[in-house]
Copies of this chain bind each other. A is one copy, B any other.
Amino acid sequence: MREVAEAAGVSVATVSLVVNNKPDARIGADARQRVHDAIRALGYRPNALAKNLVSGGSRFIGLVTDAIATTPFAGQIIHGAQDEAWKHGYILLIANIEGNEEAEREAISMMLEHQVRGVLYSTWYHRAAAVPAPLRETDVVLVNCYSPAGDVRAVVPAEVQGGRTATELLLREGHRRIAIINTTTPSPAHDGRLRGYREALEAAGVAYDPALVFNAQPDQSGGYDVVEHLLAQGPTGVFCHNDRVAMGLYDGLRERGLSIPEDLAVVGFDNQEVIAAHLRPPLTTVALPHYELGAAGVRVLLGVEDAPGDGRVEVACPAVVRSSVGPAQGKGAVPRAVGLRRS
């Protein structure tokens, strides 16, 4: 910068003024021009480090994730956060602490030392999370998790709305005997989606039948193993806890010569691209809004979007309609294959 100043025959103060294009700076057109020329000639780049030092704060936002690795989802949270941060002139500092307490401490320290504007603390599946104490020193917002004490702002998926949406996908095609394959353990997803399921049923005037509620491991084998019991209840539609369960279900159904959606309409959850979009038939599902979660996280952090009174913002889980749901046929009992195709 000093060099630029010399080359342009002005002071560094002037250079700073023109570089930052200060609105109330009175700089002559010619001087301004000379500075620009000098900058170009010398290939000058401002030093962001110094800039931050003097301004007292940085344009960094920290993102700590508990398992960027384990799941394709984490990538979307990062992506959403990164896009949104970028939009506001911020840069993401990411740290991924694979459940390692010490790594977590270090990561947080390093972020604090870099004077981050704030940090996003995210988990790869929706759950309660304890906010590490040092984080209290800065602004924090929880992403895809929440503090049971409710004392920290959080951005989470709207599980009950998602459950409702999934169920409505079936209801609106005339299905009345709708099963749900839930997970085995309580969690925001387990409880919320079940609640949404019941709400949708009630709103549609369909009685809730506990016999139609199944619990299974939330993966392919879980979906595969539950088929027998499921079929025994004669549903015409089923809402699976996630796409992988649906994938297992597809296999089980296929082995029995049953076809989707004719014999059984199935709705998944998560919208895990690789699976959902490419199953045969493509799976109708409800998306977990990971990208939005990340983006909303930085908005809340930056105060662009503000959280309601309780500091908890729920992001909608939108329906993704593909081809695994068709109109309800006949009723009860194990349905048989009938014509009527949907594209």
Q: Interface residues, chain A, CB within 8 Å of chain B?
A: 43, 45-50, 52-53, 58, 68-69, 72, 74-76, 78-79, 82-83, 86, 91-96, 103, 109-110, 112-115, 137, 219-220, 224, 244, 247-248, 251, 254, 272, 274-275, 278, 280, 291
Beta-carbon nearest neighbor of A97 in chain B? B86
Once bound together, how far apart are the Cα atoms of A174 and B12, in whole Å? Answer: 76
Contact between A278 and B82, CB atoms less than 8 A apart: no
Can you report 22 residue pairs joining A to B where beta carbons are below 8 Å apart? A45-B113, A47-B113, A47-B115, A48-B113, A49-B114, A49-B115, A68-B75, A72-B274, A75-B75, A75-B78, A79-B96, A82-B94, A82-B96, A86-B95, A91-B114, A220-B278, A220-B280, A224-B280, A244-B274, A244-B278, A254-B254, A272-B274
Beta-carbon nearest neighbor of A272 in chain B? B274
Specify which chain B residues have a CB less than 8 angstroms from the CB of A68 in the assembled complex. 75, 78-79, 82
Contact between A110 and B95, CB atoms less than 8 A apart: no
Contact between B86 and A48, CB atoms less than 8 A apart: no
Once bound together, how far apart are the Cα atoms of A28 and B251, in whole Å? Answer: 72
Once bound together, how far apart are the Cα atoms of A47 and B113, in whole Å? Answer: 5
Most buried by B among A76, A96, A244, A254: A96
Chain A contact residues, majority secondary structure: helix
Once bound together, how far apart are the Cα atoms of A93 and B86, in whole Å? Answer: 12
Contact between B79 and A109, CB atoms less than 8 A apart: no
Contact between A46 and B113, CB atoms less than 8 A apart: yes
Specify which chain B residues have a CB less than 8 angstroms from the CB of A49 in the assembled complex. 49, 52-53, 58, 114-115
Beta-carbon nearest neighbor of A93 in chain B? B91
Once bound together, how far apart are the Cα atoms of A280 and B78, in whole Å? Answer: 32
Once bound together, how far apart are the Cα atoms of A47 and B58, in whole Å? Answer: 11
Q: Which 6 A-B pairs have the closest CB atoms?
A: A72-B72, A75-B75, A48-B113, A220-B278, A48-B114, A69-B79
Contact between B45 and A109, CB atoms less than 8 A apart: yes
For A96, give its contact among B43, B83, B224, B254 (CB under 8 Å): B83
Specify which chain B residues have a CB less than 8 angstroms from the CB of A115 in the assembled complex. 47-49
Once bound together, how far apart are the Cα atoms of A48 and B303, in whole Å? Answer: 25
